[in-house]
Amino acid sequence: MQPVDFTTFTATCAELQADWLPARLEQVYRCDRYTVALALRTLKQRGWLTLSWHPNAARLCIGEAPPRTPDTFTFSQQLRHQMSGLALVAIETIAPWERVADLQFAQRPGDPILWHLYVEIMGKYSNVILTNSSNLIVTAAHQVNSQQSSVRTIQTSQLYEVPPALTDPIPSLEEPKQRWQERVSLVPGPLLRNLLKNYRGLSSALLRSMLQAAELTPEQSTETLQESDWQRLFDRWQQWLQALEQKQFQPGWLAEGGYTVMGWGATNPEKSVQVLLHRYYTDQLNQQEFGQLRHQLSQKLSSLLKKLHSKAQDFRTRLTQSEDADRYREQADLLMAYLRAWQPGMTQMVLPDFTTNEPVIIALNPEKNAVQNAQALYKRHQKLKRSRAALEPLLAEVQTEIDYLEQVEVAIEQLNEYKQPDDLTSLMEIRDELIHQGYINDPDQRYRHAASSQTTNFLRYQTPSGFDVLIGRNNRQNDQLTFRVAGDYDLWFHTQEIPGSHVLLRLDAGAIPDETDLQFTADLAAYYSRARQSEQVPVIYTEPKQVFKPKGAKPGIAIYKHERVIWGQPQRITGGE
């Protein structure tokens, strides 16, 4: 993940100073353990300033409104208590070439500064610290004691100290080319490494784009450079320093991934540094969370299904044994019919079957008489009969649970990689569903019933005739699609007895889909099912009014009638929208 370097830090602060000062602080909300958002209002606009001390994604930029969930963090409550209603009147850096912004708050512009909110962008040492006008620390996102650091402690009621100063030389526009070249090439080595070692304020991402713009490579040795190479690189160096001095930047996206605020190598410009940073770090953190959450859910489901399959197999084995119940009753009947043929001490009797007249071997207990042996066989018959009556509903219950979890497993399998925020949202809905169903614990109380009111973004396609096709990404969306969104004229599709998504072909009144439309929708239903890798998959379709949810059924479970079957071919679908 690309860190916010000094150049990016300067660019975002410059935009904030130009567009968001002065601003009234209306609200403080902590989004997660590393992020707090400040609602700012100016005369022209309102927005949320994101302050993050994430070890890999520390930043400050204008972002989107945080989710509407309760904020129970102490840090944000303290910020809200001290600064709510005040004006953000200045954003300054505490020292040259330091990535620490001092957000200053007063009653109104021109009044004495009441509070300083220091935002320190320093990788794993990043922090957000609130001090009063005397620079005494009131609260901090992350407090540091003497056991954690012998260099700099951060504790409440302690005087705020700036981070330890860097000792590397400071880049300067006044430095002549000859002196600059001598410093970089004093010890021969790769250009990227030598530049990083000899000057502060640089980052690998910045230097790679600078070297690319100068038509050089990061690994190229200083010994191999010609005078023309040095001149091109020095021109870019000067261009960078001028941009910092004049605060003129060109934010954009790089083809190989990542971003730049210098415009070097950008294939797609962005309108502002704020949009650039918010989009980049939101996507990066979402992708990271998506991978972790998907792995956790997959592992949990695999474990649950393994236990349930084992339990179901045990029930089936015991049911197979209970199938002998009628045989024991028949043997008892035979024994009672031929009581006179019994002799003391017999261990077995061979008697003709009532219907087939075939010989039946009956094992006997020699210590019991014929009647007692028959009674034992009757008791065994009754026991196995009761066992079957008890096991059949238990097996049905376990099988229902297996069907449900396999449906969830298919939904997770379809979300195989992160492409857009909707992917993470769908995965979080699956997690919340499993929490609500009691399959996984919720120590942080993440599940909220309000989630069902959120906007649902189904997968969307269009048939050859232009009809819309909606596909549920998980069980929550499947239920919404089938029982809330579906209209009287639509058609509902699902793979036959195979876990998969609910698919809806949207039709207006009087519209009649062609065979190609039905086939296309059936192909989609097959593609978004467990049978994705098959050549042909049976798919049923019917009217939504013929689809029902059994009483007490788990999410995503539905039964149907008056269905028709069409064979879907999932290999004709190349991917989702």
Q: Are residues 103 and 223 in the same domain?
A: no
Residue type, 77: Q
Residues sharing a CB contact under 8 Å with residue 528, sequence separation 6 or more, in sequence order: 414, 459, 471, 500, 501, 503, 576
Question: How confident is the model at residue 451, as a pLDDT?
Answer: 44
- Sheet of 266-269: strand order equals 259-260, 252-254, 266-269
| CA atoms within 13 Å, Cβ hemisphere of 247 | 10
DSSP state of 453: G
- Sign, CA torsion 248/252/255/257: positive
277-293 burial by CB neighbour count: b if 16+ within 10 A, else e? bbbbbbebbbbeebeeb
Per the structure, how many domains does the chain have?
A: 4
Q: Which of 396, 420, 440 corresponds to the end of one domain?
A: 396
Q: What is the pLDDT of residues 313-342, one digit of tens each?
A: 998 888 887 777 778 888 899 999 999 888
Q: What is the pLDDT of residues 262-302, one digit of tens each?
A: 999 999 999 999 999 999 999 999 999 999 999 999 999 99
Residues sharing a CB contact under 8 Å with residue 386, sequence separation 6 or more, in sequence order: none
Query: Between β-strands 459-462 and 468-471, what pairing exists: parallel, antiparallel or unpaired?
Result: antiparallel
Beta bridge partners of 48: 39, 63
Q: Are residues 464 and 551 in the same domain?
A: yes
Q: Are residues 473 and 392 in the same domain?
A: no
Phi-psi region of 458 (alpha: psi -120 to 50; beta: other; left: phi over 0): beta
Q: Is 546 within the bounds of a domain?
A: yes
Q: What is the pLDDT of residues 355-387, one digit of tens each?
A: 888 998 999 999 999 999 999 999 988 888 888
Question: How confident is the model at residue 570, as a pLDDT?
Answer: 94
Q: Are residues 113 and 231 in the same domain?
A: no
The closest alpha carbon to 59, from 282, 225, 212, belongs to 282
Q: Is 88 within the bounds of a domain?
A: yes
Q: Are residues 23 and 134 in the same domain?
A: yes
DSSP state of 391: H
Question: How confident is the model at residue 406, as a pLDDT?
Answer: 92
Q: Phi, psi at residue 9, to the nearest 5°?
A: -60, -45
Neighbours of 142 (CB within 10 A): 16
Q: Are residues 123 and 214 in the same domain?
A: no
- Sign, CA torsion 121/122/123/127: negative
Residue 70 has pLDDT above 90, yes or no: no
Provide Rg for the chain, Cα atoms: 36
Q: Are residues 474 and 543 in the same domain?
A: yes
Question: How confident is the model at residue 445, as a pLDDT?
Answer: 56
Residue 211 in tokens: 């070297």
Question: How confident is the model at residue 450, as a pLDDT?
Answer: 40
Q: What is the pLDDT of residues 103-143, one digit of tens each?
A: 999 999 999 999 999 999 999 999 999 999 999 999 999 99
Q: Are residues 182 and 131 in the same domain?
A: no
Q: What is the pLDDT of residues 504-544, one digit of tens each?
A: 999 999 899 999 999 999 999 999 999 999 999 999 999 99
Question: How confident is the model at residue 454, as a pLDDT?
Answer: 54
Residue 83 has pLDDT above 70, yes or no: yes
DSSP string covering 481-524: IIIII--TT-EEEEETTS-B--EEE---TT----HHHHHHHHHH
Q: Is 487 within the bounds of a domain?
A: yes
Higher pLDDT pick, 388 / 1: 1
Average pLDDT over residues 482-501: 95
Q: Is 122 within the bounds of a domain?
A: yes
Average pLDDT over residues 416-436: 91
Q: What is the CATH number of the domain that holds 37?
A: 2.30.310.10
Q: Is 348 within the bounds of a domain?
A: yes
Q: Is 392 within the bounds of a domain?
A: yes
Question: How confident is the model at residue 446, as a pLDDT?
Answer: 52
Q: What is the CATH number of the domain that holds 231?
A: 1.10.8
Q: Which of 120, 140, 160 corresponds to the end of one domain?
A: 140
Residues sharing a CB contact under 8 Å with residue 523, sequence separation 6 or more, in sequence order: 568, 569, 570, 572, 573
Question: How confident is the model at residue 455, as a pLDDT?
Answer: 57
Q: Are residues 262 and 339 in the same domain?
A: no
Q: Are residues 112 and 20 in the same domain?
A: yes
Q: Are residues 136 and 16 in the same domain?
A: yes
Cα-Cα-Cα-Cα dihedral of 269, 272, 275, 281, to 10°?
80
Residue 256 has pLDDT above 70, yes or no: yes
Question: How confident is the model at residue 452, as a pLDDT?
Answer: 44
Which residue range(s) make up the domain with 352?
A: 320-396
Q: What is the pLDDT of residues 174-220, one digit of tens each?
A: 999 999 999 999 999 999 999 999 999 999 999 999 999 999 999 99
Q: Are residues 229 and 347 in the same domain?
A: no
Q: Is 277 within the bounds of a domain?
A: no
Question: How confident is the model at residue 374, as a pLDDT?
Answer: 92
Q: Is 76 within the bounds of a domain?
A: yes
Q: Which of 351, 367, 396 corresponds to the end of one domain?
A: 396
Average pLDDT over the chain, rounded to an integer = 91
Residues 305 and 409 sit within 8 Å (Cβ to Cβ): yes
